[in-house]
């Protein structure tokens, strides 16, 4: 696969053109009764598409997956990795049980993650 070395401005223009085409496609489906929501972040080259039955909970879980991926891929190579990882673990548990009850074991796991967050903060403070 060939990777283009075109200047970022040209790539951005191409991405903006793609976004405009996508807006037209979404509008065409809207006229057919399919409601879609586009959420662009053009400077970051990101476009999210949400279907009409997307819930706030599903959206939160999806966004957390992106954050978790960063935590998992950076591993221990970044000084804040442990903060992000443990915060994600707590958030993931909370979102999974949003409509039900947390168990004692899950709360114990959260307490352990909170201790890890506190310990990491203390280690970071020592470096200041």
Is residue 3 situated within a structural domain? no
User: What is the domain count for the chain?
Assistant: 2
Whether 64 shows a pLDDT value over 50: the answer reads yes
Residue 69 shares a structural domain with residue 120:
yes
pLDDT of 71 reads 87
**Domain membership flag for residue 89:** yes
Q: How far apart are CA 91 and CA 70, in angstroms?
A: 15
The answer on 92 and 69 residing in a single domain is: yes
| More confident of the two residues 114 and 52 | 114
Q: Is 48 helix (H, G, I), strand (E, B) or coil?
A: strand
Structural domain harbouring 99: 56-126
Residue 115's pLDDT band (boundaries 50, 70, 90)?
very high
CA 97 from centroid of its chain's CA atoms: 19
Sorting pLDDT into bands at 50, 70 and 90, what band is 95? Answer: very high
At residue 108, the pLDDT reads 98
Q: How confident is the model at residue 1 (pLDDT cuts 50, 70, 90)?
A: very low
Partner residues linked to 40 by β-bridges:
47
Least confident of 1-5, 44-48, 107-111: 1-5
Q: Judge if 93 and 107 occupy the same domain.
A: yes
For the stretch 27-55, pLDDT in tens is 999 999 999 999 999 999 999 999 999 99
């Amino acid at each position: 696969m060939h990777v283009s070395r075109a200047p970022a401005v040209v790539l951005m223009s191409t991405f903006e053109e793609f976004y405009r085409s996508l807006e037209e496609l979404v509008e065409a489906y809207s006229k057919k009764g399919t409601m879609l929501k586009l959420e662009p972040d053009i400077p970051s080259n990101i476009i999210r598409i949400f279907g009409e039955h997307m819930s706030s909970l599903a959206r939160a879980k999806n966004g957390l997956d992106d954050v978790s991926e960063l935590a998992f891929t950076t591993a221990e190579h970044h000084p804040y990795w442990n903060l992000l990882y443990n915060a994600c673990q707590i958030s993931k548990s909370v979102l999974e049980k949003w409509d039900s009850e947390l168990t004692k074991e899950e709360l114990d796991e959260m307490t352990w993650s909170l201790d890890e967050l506190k310990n990491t903060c203390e280690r970071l403070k020592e470096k200041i």
